[in-house]
Amino acid sequence: MNCPNCGAIILKTDTACKKCGAALHTVAEHYADNIQYRSRFGLLFYAWIGGWRGSHLKHLGFVEDAERMRQSHKIGLNIFTPVGWINIFISCCVQIIECTKVIFGGYRNDVNGNPVRYFKPSGQ
């Protein structure tokens, strides 16, 4: 949302504009109307398919964290060596941990602050 006076970007938690100081009583009302829920089932699917590559983080919008996870867990073509098998085992463990975090609520919001839930609240 932008400030009606100066056009500066306003966050959900702001009560006044940081640039011009205008009181903002409509920010909470604006964000309450524009909540987009993320499906925890969809997030679990992404974590199950590519949790070791960070595809679930990319789905939530955390692109830098997803890229960091992808870079740290490369399997490559060395699967015929003991080091390759160790890398596959570590990637599988990371994937199990990420799926467990998704199931038990480790990811509560996406990058925009929208909630991640199994089901939408009734009446929405």
Long-range contact pairs involving 37-42 (C-beta distance under 8 Å, separation at least 24): 37/114, 37/115, 37/116, 37/117, 37/120, 37/124, 38/110, 38/114, 38/115, 38/116, 38/117, 39/116, 39/117, 39/118, 40/102, 40/116, 40/117, 40/118, 41/118
List the single range of 4-8, 32-36, 89-93, 116-120 with lowest mean pLDDT.
32-36
Token pair for 58: 């990319």
Strands 116-117 and 38-39: parallel
What pTM did the predictor assign? 0.60
Helix, strand or coil, per DSSP, at residue 20: coil
- Predicted local distance difference test score (pLDDT) of residue 100: 92
Task: Report, in angstroms and rounded to the nearest whole number, the Rg of the chain calculated over CA atoms.
Answer: 20
Q: Per residue in 62-101, pLDDT tens? A: 888 888 888 877 766 677 788 888 888 888 888 899 899 9
In sequence order, what E strands does the chain have? 38-39, 116-117
Instruction: Report whether pLDDT(28) > 70.
Output: no
List the single range of 24-28, 39-43, 98-102 with lowest mean pLDDT.
24-28
